[in-house]
């Protein structure tokens, strides 16, 4: 690595931390996160043993979950960590959403901004990671995202369980007058085999709560796990199948009113005026007013009446300076910014520019992806009440700590005067890391005179006022050596910065103009052996709001890099699987994942005429995933019949959840790859509902086969790593079938028809 890059990376890290180093350069100790019993406050006859565990007289173990359940199985996973170390009876374990407190901070989430390779264990990397973890802790960053929940909880929640177990054993030993070392625990019962005495957790909890938590507990070794790694029943499934589950959109409180909202359709536009005269014919309407600069609200006795009245409000808009914005303008800007935009290198090995420039065997390509919506099944909603200086909010949020802060700011009260309830999330995917719905609901509630109000966005508002996955363009040039191996690789990615945009909304004072690792992640961490490598980002900015979308930058950089790797294999006249395999000698875990995927997919075995396979490999969020897609073409568009998915996610907590998340991620990524596209015309999103922003249906969903690599490594993420490889796997299969290299998503019949045909190895000499 060059000295210049070391200097630049130090500057990048220091800027990103923005003072994080000032709070210390060591990660918070797990014991410090054990928490006081009063943090996880018991009710009734419950007894709290620490900030994570409560026990009822009947022996029910209640585990605090500081992460939001949005279908990813986090309640089950986190409870498993505690229950296994406690040796609790899984049938007696339940979960409650944790309150907001520092011990529940997500200390791993901010690691996603550290501009280091996953296997970089040098001093600067360790210092930055520790400081970021400390920063998350000191900020009380209670957030669900970045496939970080289990990675963050792995030590503190196991420690909470082990500590609770030790206290229960000590309580039993004290009552029986025997050494604690002679006692054992199984399925929520403490036993002393020599005397035959037994006591359940519920009988011992009060005595255990009087003890000082031990400081020297030893966590289980993997061979002693009883629940971790096993397929335990999910805690959320019963309520979701019997109708008792409460999502944000289900919340009902006494005397509640309902609000409909309409935002200016043009990005950056504002309300010029509105006329509510015609609303007089709609019964049940209570209030009509403007909030902020760009929205009008109708409050009524139910959502339907509010929406019917909203349709009668005549609104005049100031469309602003961006009323002529279009997808073509955005696309041109992304390309123009290659020359004019803010640029920063994230990986510079050897002398790639010189090697590629002097090569007589060069491959060049340009790829592009569109904006994408989150399109969660549950549209945006929030319930708020502002009364007597107190604020109560019910919101399906991924970021409770910031949602609470924003509610306090809007209402002009101290944060201690805000109570936040977090129901189940009907899909998040990063959209519910935002808090615009909380700000709006609280602003509306300030105008309803103490009466609670529920704000529900229409599907059209949800789709057309999203924080979109950025559009992006990637430019490649590579040099092949005499054997066809990549000798030099240059990749520049132009896209809006999600990190900067999010900080501008969240904490404007800290929104510094620095390189954004989220923009380039998945492009600069290539595991392949390439001696000369240069990967850089170009930050663009458009009026279209952007935000975190499932797998963030990995979602498009995997498509860029894995398709271009296929191009190099084609240019070299090599099999794309074997080509990758030979470039992975320095990364055995990646190689093992790739090999198993090829084996399980019968790579090399002939398929029926009209079918082909494509392969892709990608690492994200601490996990390595390879996928092989088997496709045909129907009316010129891909029909995916089978996906073989292999993942190495380190130690597995619940294999059933891993399989479910791979299936979920593939559905999500495949919908985007084949169908997803937000296009801009006249300054607004053209797509408004699932009628023109389609998703994969059951009838067209492929068979998904998931294989998990056994591992004793620390847990990696599973919520997002399955999404990045699917688009390149399908695109590479399209090329194998048609010899058309589709470099622009989505993979529609039109884009395939217009794609370049590479009938022979493509290597430009001296280009």
pLDDT in tens, 430-441: 999 999 999 999
For residue 11, being part of any structural domain is answered with no
What's the mean pLDDT in 303-320? 97
Q: Do residue 145 and residue 210 come from a single domain?
A: yes
What's the mean pLDDT in 258-267? 98
For residue 15, being part of any structural domain is answered with no
Provide the CA 510 distance to its chain's centre, in angstroms: 22
Q: Do residue 436 and residue 511 come from a single domain?
A: no
The domain total for the chain is 3
As a whole number of angstroms, the distance between CA 569 and CA 563 comes to 10
For residue 9, being part of any structural domain is answered with no
For residue 16, being part of any structural domain is answered with no
Cβ neighbours of residue 126 closer than 8 Å, sequence gap 6 or more = none
**Token couple for 700:** 């067209």
CA-closest candidate to residue 200, choices 209, 208, 192, 191: 191
Q: Do residue 394 and residue 511 come from a single domain?
A: no
Residue that finishes a domain, picked among 426, 456, 486: 456
As a whole number of angstroms, the distance between CA 698 and CA 667 comes to 10
**Confidence tier at 29 by pLDDT (50, 70, 90):** confident
Q: What is the CATH number of the domain that holds 47?
A: 3.30.365.10
Q: Do residue 315 and residue 290 come from a single domain?
A: yes
Q: Do residue 662 and residue 582 come from a single domain?
A: yes
As a whole number of angstroms, the distance between CA 435 and CA 754 comes to 40
Q: Do residue 612 and residue 733 come from a single domain?
A: yes
As a whole number of angstroms, the distance between CA 63 and CA 97 comes to 8
Handedness of CA 239, 240, 243, 244 (dihedral sign): positive
Q: Do residue 678 and residue 595 come from a single domain?
A: yes
CB neighbours of residue 238 within 10 Å: 11
What's the mean pLDDT in 521-525? 97
Residue that finishes a domain, picked among 456, 485, 518: 456
CA-closest candidate to residue 49, choices 156, 159, 168: 168
Query: Tens of pLDDT along 433-492?
Result: 999 999 999 999 999 999 999 999 999 999 999 999 999 999 999 999 999 999 999 999
As a whole number of angstroms, the distance between CA 637 and CA 60 comes to 53
Statement: residue 556 has pLDDT above 90: yes
CA-closest candidate to residue 371, choices 509, 469, 248: 469
Q: Do residue 737 and residue 683 come from a single domain?
A: yes
pTM of the model: 0.95
**Token couple for 233:** 């029943």
User: Please, what's the b/e burial string for 544-555 (b: 16 or more CB within 10 A of its CB; e: otherwise)?
Assistant: bbbbbbbbbbbb
**Confidence tier at 19 by pLDDT (50, 70, 90):** very low
Q: What is the DSSP string of 595-611?
A: HHHHHHTTTTSPPPTT-
| pLDDT value for 761 | 67
**Confidence tier at 13 by pLDDT (50, 70, 90):** very low
| pLDDT value for 17 | 42
**Confidence tier at 730 by pLDDT (50, 70, 90):** very high
Provide the CA 470 distance to its chain's centre, in angstroms: 15
Residue that finishes a domain, picked among 192, 226, 260: 226
For residue 45, being part of any structural domain is answered with yes
Q: Do residue 446 and residue 511 come from a single domain?
A: no
As a whole number of angstroms, the distance between CA 400 and CA 411 comes to 16
Domain ranges, residue 363: 327-372+468-757
Statement: residue 20 has pLDDT above 70: no
Statement: residue 4 has pLDDT above 50: no
What's the mean pLDDT in 357-361? 96
CA-closest candidate to residue 652, choices 619, 622, 617, 629: 622
CA-closest candidate to residue 101, choices 165, 52, 45: 52
What's the mean pLDDT in 585-592? 98
For strand 183-186 and strand 189-192, is the pairing parallel, antiparallel, or unpaired?
antiparallel
As a whole number of angstroms, the distance between CA 598 and CA 585 comes to 17
pLDDT mean across residues, the chain: 94
As a whole number of angstroms, the distance between CA 397 and CA 718 comes to 20
Q: What is the DSSP string of 3-64?
A: HHHHHHHHHHHHHHHTTGGGG-SSPPPGGGGS--TTTS---TT-EESSSSEEE-TT--EEEE
Query: Tens of pLDDT along 205-236?
Result: 999 999 999 999 999 999 999 999 999 999 99
Contact 396, 247 (CB under 8 A): yes
For residue 117, being part of any structural domain is answered with no
Beta bridge pairs of residue 457: none
Tell me if residue 247 falls in helix, strand or coil.
strand
Query: Tens of pLDDT along 315-342?
Result: 999 999 999 999 999 999 999 999 988 8
Query: Tens of pLDDT along 632-672?
Result: 999 999 999 999 999 999 999 999 999 999 999 999 999 99
**Confidence tier at 718 by pLDDT (50, 70, 90):** very high
| pLDDT value for 251 | 98
User: Please, what's the b/e burial string for 435-448 (b: 16 or more CB within 10 A of its CB; e: otherwise)?
Assistant: bbbbbbbbbbbbbb
Statement: residue 495 has pLDDT above 50: yes
| pLDDT value for 765 | 36
| pLDDT value for 7 | 42
Query: Tens of pLDDT along 657-714?
Result: 999 999 999 999 999 999 999 999 999 999 999 999 999 999 999 999 999 999 999 9
- Note the residue count of the chain: 767
**Token couple for 11:** 């500057």
Q: Do residue 293 and residue 421 come from a single domain?
A: yes
What's the mean pLDDT in 270-286? 95
Q: Do residue 625 and residue 749 come from a single domain?
A: yes
Handedness of CA 176, 177, 181, 182 (dihedral sign): negative
As a whole number of angstroms, the distance between CA 126 and CA 114 comes to 10
Give rounded-to-5 percent helix, strand, coil for the chain: 35, 25, 40
Least confident of 14-18, 295-299, 524-528, 648-652: 14-18
**Confidence tier at 238 by pLDDT (50, 70, 90):** very high
Residue 232 region by backbone torsions, left for phi larger than 0, else alpha for psi between -120 and 50, else beta? beta
Q: Do residue 452 and residue 472 come from a single domain?
A: no
For residue 513, being part of any structural domain is answered with yes
**Confidence tier at 24 by pLDDT (50, 70, 90):** low
For residue 311, being part of any structural domain is answered with yes
């Amino acid at each position: 690595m060059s000295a210049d890059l070391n200097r630049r990376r130090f500057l990048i890290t220091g800027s990103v931390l923005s003072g994080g180093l000032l709070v210390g350069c060591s990660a918070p100790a797990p014991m410090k996160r054990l928490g006081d019993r009063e943090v996880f406050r018991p009710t009734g006859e419950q007894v709290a043993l620490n900030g994570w565990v409560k026990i009822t007289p009947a022996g029910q173990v209640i585990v605090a979950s500081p992460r939001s359940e949005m279908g990813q199985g986090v309640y089950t996973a986190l409870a498993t960590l505690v229950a296994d170390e406690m040796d609790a009876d899984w049938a007696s374990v339940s979960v409650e959403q944790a309150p907001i407190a520092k011990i529940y901070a997500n200390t791993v989430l901010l690691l996603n901004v550290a501009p280091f390779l996953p296997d970089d264990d040098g001093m600067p990397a360790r210092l930055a990671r520790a400081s970021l973890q400390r920063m998350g802790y000191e900020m009380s960053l209670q957030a669900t995202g970045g496939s970080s929940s289990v990675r963050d909880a792995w030590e503190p929640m196991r420690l909470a369980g082990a500590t609770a177990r030790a206290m229960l054993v000590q309580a039993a030993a004290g009552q029986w007058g025997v050494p604690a070392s002679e006692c054992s625990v199984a399925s929520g019962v403490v036993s002393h085999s020599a005397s035959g005495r037994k006591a359940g957790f519920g009988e011992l909890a009060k005595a255990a709560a009087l003890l000082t938590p031990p400081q020297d507990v030893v966590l289980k070794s993997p061979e002693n796990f009883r629940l971790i790694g096993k397929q335990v029943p999910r805690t959320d499934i019963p309520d979701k199948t019997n109708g008792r589950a409460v999502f944000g959109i289900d919340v009902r409180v006494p005397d509640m009113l309902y609000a409909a909202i309409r935002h200016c359709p043009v990005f950056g536009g504002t309300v010029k005026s509105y006329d509510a005269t015609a609303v007089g014919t709609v019964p049940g309407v209570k209030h009509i007013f403007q909030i902020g600069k760009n929205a009008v609200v109708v409050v009524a006795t139910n959502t339907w009446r509010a929406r019917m009245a909203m349709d009668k409000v005549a609104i005049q808009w100031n469309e602003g300076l961006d009323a002529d914005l279009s997808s073509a303008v955005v696309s041109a800007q992304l390309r123009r910014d290659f020359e004019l935009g803010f640029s920063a290198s994230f990986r510079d090995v050897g002398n790639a520019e010189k090697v590629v420039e002097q090569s007589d065997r060069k491959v060049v390509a340009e790829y592009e992806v569109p904006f994408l919506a989150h399109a969660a099944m549950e549209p945006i909603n929030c319930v708020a009440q502002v009364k007597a200086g107190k604020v109560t909010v019910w919101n399906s949020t991924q970021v409770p700590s910031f949602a609470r802060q924003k509610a306090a700011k809007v209402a002009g009260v101290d944060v201690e005067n805000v109570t936040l309830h977090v129901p189940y999330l009907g899909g998040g995917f990063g959209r519910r890391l935002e808090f615009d719905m909380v700000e709006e609901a609280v602003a509306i509630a300030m105008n309803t005179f103490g009466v609670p109000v529920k704000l529900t966005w229409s599907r059209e508002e949800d789709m057309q006022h999203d924080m979109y996955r950025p559009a992006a363009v990637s430019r490649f040039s590579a040099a092949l050596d005499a054997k066809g191996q990549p000798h030099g690789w240059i990749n520049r990615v132009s896209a809006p910065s999600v990190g900067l945009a999010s900080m501008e909304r969240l904490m404007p004072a800290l929104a510094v103009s620095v390189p954004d690792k989220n923009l380039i992640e998945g492009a600069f961490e290539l595991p392949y052996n390439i001696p000369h490598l240069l990967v850089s980002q170009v930050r663009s900015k458009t009026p279209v709001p952007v935000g975190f979308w499932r797998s963030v930058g990995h979602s498009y950089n995997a498509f860029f890099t894995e398709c271009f790797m296929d191009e190099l294999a084609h240019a070299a006249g090599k099999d794309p699987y074997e080509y990758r395999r030979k470039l992975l000698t320095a990364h055995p875990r990646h190689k093992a994942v790739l090999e198993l995927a090829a084996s399980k997919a019968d790579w090399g075995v002939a398929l029926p005429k009209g079918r082909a396979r494509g392969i892709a490999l990608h690492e994200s969020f601490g996990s390595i995933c390879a996928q092989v897609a088997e496709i045909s073409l129907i009316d010129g568009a891909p029909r995916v019949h089978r996906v073989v998915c292999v993942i190495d996610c380190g130690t597995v907590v619940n294999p059933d959840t891993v399989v479910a998340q791979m299936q979920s991620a593939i559905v999500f990524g495949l919908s985007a790859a084949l169908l997803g596209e937000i296009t801009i015309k006249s300054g607004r999103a053209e797509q408004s509902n699932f009628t023109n922003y389609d998703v994969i249906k059951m009838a067209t969903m492929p068979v998904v086969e998931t294989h998990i690599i056994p591992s004793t490594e620390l847990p990696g993420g599973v919520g997002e790593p399955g999404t990045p490889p699917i688009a390149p796997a399908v695109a590479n299969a399209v090329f194998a079938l048609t010899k058309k290299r589709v470099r622009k998503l989505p993979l529609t019949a039109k884009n395939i028809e217009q794609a370049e045909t590479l009938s022979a190895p493509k290597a430009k000499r001296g280009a």
